[in-house]
Amino acid sequence: MSTAWAIFAACESAVENEVRTSRAQNDKEFHFQNWVRARIVESGHSISGEGRNRYPDFEIEAHDEAFEVKGITVGSRENDFDSNSALPSGEYKGKRVFYVFGRYESVLHGGDAPNVLDVVIADGTFLNAGPGFLADNKSLRVLGSYGDILFRDRKMYAPHTPYKLLSGLRGHCTLIMPASERPPAAGFVEVGRFSRTEADRVLTAYHGDLKANTLVGDFDANLTGGMEHPFVAYRTVRGNTTVGVELI
């Protein structure tokens, strides 16, 4: 059984009980990550590997699963997120990867202890069914009149969040799992079924023209183009099961 079920239940319970994050003045970036860490521990699982600048953020001890955390200030950038140098996927270095998204109050409303409004935990294949990788960033020291300024080809990605792809998420905690995965015998309710369809082509190269300021991609046919990947949205029996989740 995946650890995601218990970790999600702990997150949903914390949201319902208004367990706030703690946004320290000298550490405002990682407060939601710390909040998720506490929920993992509450769920009864231990963390074998973690770090602020590692991918994924948390590896679960005795399980081949890991969790990447993405916090969102409500009303800010809710439709996509930065995935710097790491193309999202459902597997990385032998670990199954889940993404944890959470919206929390702004400083104006929540101060240094913002309330978490909702959480979405999604199997990584919901964001990208293909393989993931850490990009090997290349560089050339060729720019400028003296030819000694470094030009860095840094790969940066901005996938859609579940809040962009699905309706019925705001104000409710939701777990998104592959349809092939059975839920626990009790405690969870299905609130939606939907599928994502693979694109007909895949990017294989790109070319940038510095003078024209253009970026053009080269594509190959996707050998699995048109394949549908079905998913199911769940909430616990304590959550709001009357609001359904649908693909937008």
Q: In this structure, is residue 87 part of a structural domain? A: yes
Alpha-carbon distance of 173 to 187, in angstroms, equals 14
Q: In this structure, is residue 109 part of a structural domain? A: yes
For residue 155, the enclosing domain spans: 4-197+229-247
> How many other C-beta atoms lie within 10 A of the C-beta of residue 197?
12
Q: In this structure, is residue 209 part of a structural domain? A: no
Q: In this structure, is residue 206 part of a structural domain? A: no
**pLDDT tens across the length of the chain (248 residues):** 999 999 999 999 999 999 999 987 666 679 999 999 999 999 999 999 887 778 899 999 999 999 999 999 999 999 999 987 678 999 999 999 999 999 999 988 888 899 999 999 999 999 999 876 666 788 999 999 999 999 998 888 999 999 999 999 999 999 999 999 999 999 999 999 999 999 999 998 899 998 999 999 999 999 999 999 999 999 999 998 899 999 99
What pLDDT, on a 0 to 100 scale, did the predictor assign at position 131?
75
The structure tokens 């218990």 sit at 6
Q: In this structure, is residue 216 part of a structural domain? A: no
Please state the domain count of the chain: 1
What pLDDT, on a 0 to 100 scale, did the predictor assign at position 171?
96
What pLDDT, on a 0 to 100 scale, did the predictor assign at position 28?
64
Q: In this structure, is residue 133 part of a structural domain? A: yes
Beta-strand (E) ranges in the chain? Answer: 47-50, 58-60, 65-73, 91-92, 95-104, 116-123, 138-143, 149-153, 166-167, 174-178, 188-197, 201-209, 214-221, 228-236, 246-247
Enter the pTM of the model. 0.94
Q: Minimal CA–CA distance to 19: which of 146, 116, 148, 101? A: 116
> How many other C-beta atoms lie within 10 A of the C-beta of residue 164?
13
What pLDDT, on a 0 to 100 scale, did the predictor assign at position 133?
62
What pLDDT, on a 0 to 100 scale, did the predictor assign at position 134?
64
What pLDDT, on a 0 to 100 scale, did the predictor assign at position 153?
87
What pLDDT, on a 0 to 100 scale, did the predictor assign at position 26?
64
What pLDDT, on a 0 to 100 scale, did the predictor assign at position 52?
75
Q: In this structure, is residue 173 part of a structural domain? A: yes
Q: In this structure, is residue 178 part of a structural domain? A: yes
